[in-house]
Structure 1
Amino acid sequence: MALAPELINTLARQLFEARQQRQSLRQFSRQHSEMTLADGYAIQRAWVALELAAGRRVRGHKIGLTSRAMQLSSQIDEPDYAPLMDDMLFEPGGDIPIDRFIAPRVEVELAFILGRDLQGPGVTLFDVLAATEWVTPAIEIIDARLEQFDRDTRAPRKVFDTIADFAACAGIVMGGRPVRVDSHDLRWIGAMLFKNGVIEETGLAAGVLNHPAMGIVWLANKLAAHGEGLKAGEVVLAGSFTRPTPAVAGDSFHVDYGPLGVVAFRFA
């Protein structure tokens, strides 16, 4: 790590307060050009500690940057990850308060609900499939506590910023029809995303590392370096297979997963 522990704790506190107050911060990488990937994760872990001290719980994890195109654009050669806090889970079919967010966008994903623990290193695709109790349609709501584009220069944030910022995660809506992993070829699960009745995005789950469970393989082995693992009952968002779609108050979203049903909600 390049940043001092005291600075990491200060930046984590800024993010914690930004999420509470719904205010964007300037990109950390602009203020601290020496920032590294390790610093991003250190800030993220310090932020999680603040959330836990405030009474929140970790309900699972999200995996991002799973597509080759996103990795190239972010100048990174692997995915990233962040926790799912308990207040990030929203019910489908209703209104979600837009004032919970700063600049929300939505992505189409599959969520894996684990039936047993996964502890790396050495976790394989078959281990993940054996440990998964259900796979269900999901929509991730992403946000920017650290500005996506600098307010003055319009320079995009760096991957270090995104990692520190909970990998942009702000919410998850699960719905549709949960299925067992052996009931479908998960690579061929597709979805159509409609915003206000107009189709915006389509995609196949194979766009996530050729198989949506491969991100979870990567995560389980990545967490092992910190002595951590994935726990039974946790939700793991496997990664988006559509581009982010921006949202404003009044926008309604309807995502059709074919045989896996529909997830829908409205920003109010």
Structure 2
Amino acid sequence: MNDTTGRARALYEARATGKPIPPFTDDDPTLDMAAGYAIQRELVAMLLADGDRIIGHKVGLTAKPMQRMLGVDSPDYGPVLASTVYPDGGTVPLGRFIAPKIEAEIVFVLGSRLQGPGVTVEQARAAISGVVAGLEIVDSRIENWRIKLADTVADLASNGAMAVSATVVPLADIPDTRLIGMALTRDGELVDTGAGAAALGDPVAVVAWLANTLAADGVALEPGHLIMTGALHAAVPMRSGDAFLAEFDRLGTVGIKVGD
């Protein structure tokens, strides 16, 4: 399998069947980020043809440790699909995923259209209407998370699902998003902590980066879009019966339960 459409179809089927596939980079180690995005675009077209819709974007690899792990110096991105959003406090079925892990993230709500190139952090801040507490479930349709950069980019940046709090805090009420602290617990026990500065030094900078990067494809960030700005800590494996709660300074809490 060495064609873009064929690889996208393989990922589409892996999502449908729950059966992971070998890394594309096993067959072709020369695959790069551009090839990964070409596959991603084909996969997204297939999912939208099924009736799904894009309600925002996720940005991954915003933390330096994750960039070092994959040998890159910039983030990656993928769409957030409406079918993958769960309510705060909802139950997420483990069987929907292959090898899911959970990450706590700061999520922005766009208030006005934002399109690059040349978007500054100040312009991104002006376009953001609110901030919510978020949880991302990352999942890999690639066997055993044996991903290289092209593999994870192709696979919607390893996006699985998300949950966000119902409370939207106006960005104007938060003096510095870098300093938003977070504590993640599983069944009441502390698992990890983080702060907004883990995401490219400033989560708002993630929005500017995304707007400028998507501009190359003529894509804008639209009002109402949710922008996931990247994990504030190492991803945590999920097990049936787990109850996760992320407590954010100023943003409140967001939690999920893990079902079968």
Q: Which amino acid aligns with 1:39?
A: A
User: Which of the residues 103, 122, 127 maps onto 1:126?
Assistant: 122
Within-5 A mapping of 1:30-179 = 30-149=26-145, 156-175=146-165, 177-179=167-169
**After TM superposition, where is structure 1 displaced by more than 6 Å over at least 4 residues in a row?**
none
Cα gap change, 1:176/1:255 in structure 2, threshold over 3 Å: closer, same or farther?
farther
Unaligned runs of 5+ in 1: 150-155
Separation in structure 1 between the aligned mates of residue 113 and residue 187 of structure 2, nearest angstrom: 39
Separation in structure 1 between the aligned mates of residue 205 and residue 243 of structure 2, nearest angstrom: 31
Compute the TM-score of the two structures, normalised by the length of structure 1: 0.93
Deviation at 1:126, TM superposition (A): 1.0
Cα gap change, 1:28/1:74 in structure 2, threshold over 3 Å: closer, same or farther?
same
Secondary structure of the corresponding residue to residue 213 of structure 1: helix
Separation in structure 1 between the aligned mates of residue 197 and residue 144 of structure 2, nearest angstrom: 27
Deviations 1:67-93 (A, max 9, x none): 112111111110000001111100111
Cα gap change, 1:12/1:181 in structure 2, threshold over 3 Å: closer, same or farther?
same
Structure 2 contact 86–92 (Cα < 8 Å) conserved? yes
1:261 maps to 2:242: no
| Aligned alpha-carbon RMSD (Å) | 1.3
Deviation at 1:148, TM superposition (A): 3.9
1:214 maps to 2:205: yes
Separation in structure 1 between the aligned mates of residue 10 and residue 37 of structure 2, nearest angstrom: 15
User: Which of the residues 223, 231, 234 maps onto 1:243?
Assistant: 234
Q: Which amino acid aligns with 1:174?
A: V
Separation in structure 1 between the aligned mates of residue 218 and residue 77 of structure 2, nearest angstrom: 16
Structure 1 contact 132–181 (Cα < 8 Å) conserved? yes
Q: Which amino acid aligns with 1:95?
A: T
Q: Percent identity?
A: 38
Deviations 1:150-197 (A, max 9, x none): xxxxxx321111101111101110016321112112111111000122
Separation in structure 2 between the aligned mates of residue 117 and residue 17 of structure 1, nearest angstrom: 34
Secondary structure of the corresponding residue to residue 109 of structure 1: strand
Deviation at 1:249, TM superposition (A): 1.0
Secondary structure of the corresponding residue to residue 71 of structure 1: helix
Separation in structure 2 between the aligned mates of residue 148 and residue 183 of structure 1, nearest angstrom: 42
Secondary structure of the corresponding residue to residue 136 of structure 2: strand
User: Which residue does 2:10 correspond to in 1?
Assistant: 14
Structure 2 contact 136–163 (Cα < 8 Å) conserved? yes
Separation in structure 1 between the aligned mates of residue 96 and residue 69 of structure 2, nearest angstrom: 28
Compute the TM-score of the two structures, normalised by the length of structure 2: 0.96
Structure 1 contact 176–260 (Cα < 8 Å) conserved? no
Separation in structure 1 between the aligned mates of residue 111 and residue 143 of structure 2, nearest angstrom: 37
Secondary structure of the corresponding residue to residue 199 of structure 1: strand
